[in-house]
């Protein structure tokens, strides 16, 4: 079953690559004005959006196509991971290079599907956890590219999380770490989104510039409602820890400036995933040893 879970996740991952590519084109024109600057910042090989690309949506066009030559792909070009390997990372029509991001997303999605099954089982809880993980994949890659967390994911995600908690309160169909009732979801929301909002507003008033985007606040709203206070606190703590360590590594390795903007969404996502699949008890054991508090 674990292999089947990975295959299922990699198939979903193929769809997630479509979401990552197409969702940003649905943004307002002014938010696309910094596209060139962001591409230079991250060194991503993305061509300027054509008039056709600006009309893209997740559902239109329904068939995948090569972003370089616009040729419509055949079904056997979309086999997760395998097609990229067989094509040697190039389009079969124009021979343009296909980013390794495509199979990478498929592998990540497949792995998270496997971990969801292995950790929570083939049940309602495992399916919800994987669906949440899939949303984190899309959020992380888009935030890395454009420094935004799309409302089209975080806001409906929060409402869906709230609906799931309501179902859980009355029908008890989900197990931990999903919140058991609305009270737990409310305090999770306050501990996550509420705390980050206060930090964001405080930084803005003190430094007179934005240090934390509202997209991160909305992401923590979705996380807090679904996983309660523990999910929010561990996500914030671990996300900040990962962000600090990786940011320091980038400064030391590539000479980035301390004031240089970094996307916080991927680190928050990594914090949530650590909480879900490593577990708070093991996290506390490792932190205890790291801080010299263990036996």
The residues spanned by each domain of the chain are 1-148, 149-295
Distance CA 262, CA 248 (A): 11
Give the mean model confidence (pLDDT) for residues 4-15.
95
Do residues 26 and 148 touch, judged by C-beta distance below 8 A? no
Which of the 8 DSSP states describes residue 77? G
> Hey, which of 46-50, 108-112, 203-207 has the most confident mean pLDDT?
108-112
Task: Give the per-residue pLDDT at 199.
Answer: 87
The label of the residue with tokens 């999605």 reads 109
Contact yes or no for 56/25 (Cβ under 8 A) = yes
Write the CB contacts of 237 (distance below 8 Å, at least 6 apart in sequence).
271
Q: What is the mean pLDDT of residues 34-51?
A: 42
Residue ranges in the chain assigned as alpha helix (H): 2-22, 35-42, 82-86, 101-120, 124-146, 151-171, 182-189, 195-207, 214-254, 265-277, 280-290
Torsion of CA 199, 204, 205, 209, to 10 degrees: 160
| pLDDT tens, position by position, 261-292 | 778 999 999 999 999 999 877 777 776 666 66
Average pLDDT over residues 98-123: 95
When the pLDDT of each residue in the chain is averaged and rounded to a whole number, the result is: 83
Q: How much of the chain exceeds pLDDT 70, in percent?
A: 81
pLDDT of res. 38: 41
More confident residue, 43 or 16: 16
More confident residue, 77 or 47: 77
Q: Report the pLDDT value the prediction gives residue 295, as an integer from 0 to 100.
A: 47
Total-model pTM: 0.84
Mean per-residue pLDDT, 10-28: 84
The stretch 177-192 carries a mean pLDDT of 96
Q: What is the pLDDT of residues 125-170, one digit of tens each?
A: 999 999 999 999 999 999 999 999 999 999 999 999 999 999 999 9
* Per-residue model confidence (pLDDT) at position 48: 43
With the C-alpha atoms ordered 25, 28, 31, 36, is the resulting torsion angle positive or negative? positive
CA separation for the pair 6, 3 (Å, rounded): 5
Question: In the chain, what is the straight-line distance between the N-terminal and C-terminal CA atoms, in Å?
Answer: 38
pLDDT higher than 70, residue 43: no
Q: Which residue has the tokens 């056709």?
A: 52
Residue 33: pLDDT band (50, 70, 90) is very low
Confidence of residue 31 (pLDDT cuts 50, 70, 90): very low
Residue 46 has what pLDDT? 41
Residues 6+ apart with CB under 8 A from 51: none
Tell me the two tokens of residue 229.
């206070």
């Amino acid at each position: 079953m674990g292999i089947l879970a990975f295959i299922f996740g990699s198939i979903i991952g193929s769809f997630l690559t479509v979401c990552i590519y197409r969702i940003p084109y649905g943004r307002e024109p002014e938010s696309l004005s910094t596209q060139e600057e962001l591409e230079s910042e991250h060194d991503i090989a993305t061509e300027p959006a054509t008039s056709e690309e600006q009309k893209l949506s997740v559902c239109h066009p329904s068939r995948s196509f090569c972003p370089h030559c616009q040729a419509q792909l055949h079904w056997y070009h979309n086999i997760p991971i395998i097609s990229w390997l067989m094509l040697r990372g190039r389009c079969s029509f124009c021979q343009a290079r296909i980013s390794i991001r495509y199979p990478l997303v498929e592998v990540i999605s497949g792995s998270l599907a496997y971990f969801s099954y292995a950790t929570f089982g083939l049940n309602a809880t495992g399916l919800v956890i994987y669906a949440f993980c899939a949303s984190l994949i899309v959020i992380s890659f888009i935030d890395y590219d454009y420094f935004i967390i799309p409302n089209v994911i975080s806001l409906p995600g929060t409402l869906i999380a709230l609906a799931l908690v309501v179902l859980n309160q009355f029908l008890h169909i989900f197990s931990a770490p999903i919140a058991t009732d609305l009270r737990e979801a409310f305090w999770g929301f306050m501990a996550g989104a509420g705390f980050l909002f206060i930090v964001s507003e405080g930084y803005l008033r003190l430094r007179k510039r934005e240090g934390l985007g509202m997209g991160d606040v909305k992401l923590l709203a979705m996380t807090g409602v679904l996983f309660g206070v523990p999910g929010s606190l561990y996500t914030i703590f671990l996300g900040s820890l990962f962000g600090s360590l990786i940011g320091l590594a980038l400064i030391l390795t590539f000479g980035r400036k301390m004031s240089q903007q970094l996307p916080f969404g991927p680190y928050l996502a990594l914090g949530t995933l650590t909480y879900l699949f490593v577990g708070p008890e093991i996290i506390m054991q490792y932190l205890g040893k790291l801080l010299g508090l263990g036996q």
